[in-house]
Amino acid sequence: MAKAGNGILYAVLSSLFLSTGFIFSKHFLQYGNPETLNTLWFGIAFAVSFAILMAKSPGRTIRTFGRHWKDGLVVGGANAVAAAFWFKSISVAGPTLTAFLVRFSTIFIIFLSVLFLREKLHLHDVTGMLIALSGALVISSGGGSYLRSGTLVALAASFAIAVHQVLSKVYVKTIEPLTLVSLRTLYTAAFLLIYAVASSKLQPFPAEQLPLLTAAIIINAIIGFVFFYKALELLDVSKVAIIRTLDPFIVVIYALVVFHTMPTAQQIMGGTLVVTGVLVTMYGHALKTILRTVKWLPWFG
């Protein structure tokens, strides 16, 4: 029981830290466009992760990078597309709605599994997809063309994230997680830099914001994933995934505290439908798993 309790605690902490990415991104977009922030974000993430790897084992790190550069190229390319849409969605739709809508990545993963792995769709899969789709329609309706375009960008980000996650799952079998993170961020930053320069969208970024940006990346991309991987060691993947559906609601609280903004009741309802649909899709066949997990969440006593 103690092991499960610790695992739940780590999963909750991972949600708290990983959810900061939406808020930090919104803040830093005040000082640069998505293309510039994207390049800096992944460039700094690569520098930090590569420094850690080199400190641990420089020879092994260099050999691994040489052996798996093609893997990094593929995963990094997919991640660059996902990141471009993700930052653009935050810029257009805001961090809260983006946090809800990127939950669609789970549904897109199921579609990819059906298309390429010949897995079968079940009734709860279709039911969950319809619920999540209705949530997206609720979010985008009545908000004008600006919000509708933000919803489309967020859904594009979700699909790109799904592709990236599927590829990462394949490559993580042969590459340790931190090395894969470093490879991914290297090629992601390279692709984004090339795009920003080619499109003449690279802008100066305030030097005084760089320390805070570096701290944000460490909090989000390093500490957050340490807790996430620790949770995976102690809990089933399904239970960790259930707890991670808390992310959008944590982002709502962060946005209220930091930006003093609150989504409308319609947007909250739509976002809740999206999360509910994802849960039904993932665990419609195992409702008892959800109930057991909720029972042991720290704040439920």
pLDDT of residue 296: 39
Between 238 and 236, residue with greater pLDDT: 236
Whether the CB-CB separation of 141 and 264 falls below 8 Å is answered with no
Residues 6+ apart with CB under 8 A from 29: 37, 87, 90, 91
Among 35, 9, 56, residue whose Cα is nearest residue 179: 56
Kindly indicate the confidence band of residue 8, based on its pLDDT and cuts at 50, 70 and 90.
Answer: confident
- Percent of the chain residues past pLDDT 90, beyond the cut: 30
Give the residue with greater pLDDT, 49 vs 283. Answer: 49
Q: How distant, in Å, are the alpha carbons of 12, 16, 227, 258, 289 from that of 239?
A: 11, 16, 14, 29, 7
> Is residue 170's pLDDT more than 90?
no
Distances (CA, A) of 30 to 90, 133, 195: 12, 31, 21
User: Residue 283 — pLDDT band, cuts 50, 70, 90?
Assistant: low
Mean pLDDT, the chain, as a whole number? Answer: 82
- Res. 299: pLDDT tops 50: no
pLDDT in tens, 56-104: 999 999 998 999 888 888 888 888 998 899 988 898 888 988 999 888 8
The Cα–Cα gap between 25 and 16 comes to: 15
What is the phi/psi pair of residue 293, to 5°?
Answer: -65, -45
CA–CA gap between residue 279 and residue 133 (Å, rounded) = 13
pLDDT of residue 255: 92
Instruction: Point out the least confidently predicted range of 99-108, 136-145, 157-166, 244-253.
Output: 136-145
pTM for this prediction: 0.78
pLDDT in tens, 186-227: 999 999 999 999 999 999 999 999 999 999 998 987 788 778
Please tell me the predicted confidence (pLDDT) of residue 147.
Answer: 67
pLDDT exceeds cutoff 50 at 300: no
Domain ranges of the chain: 2-300
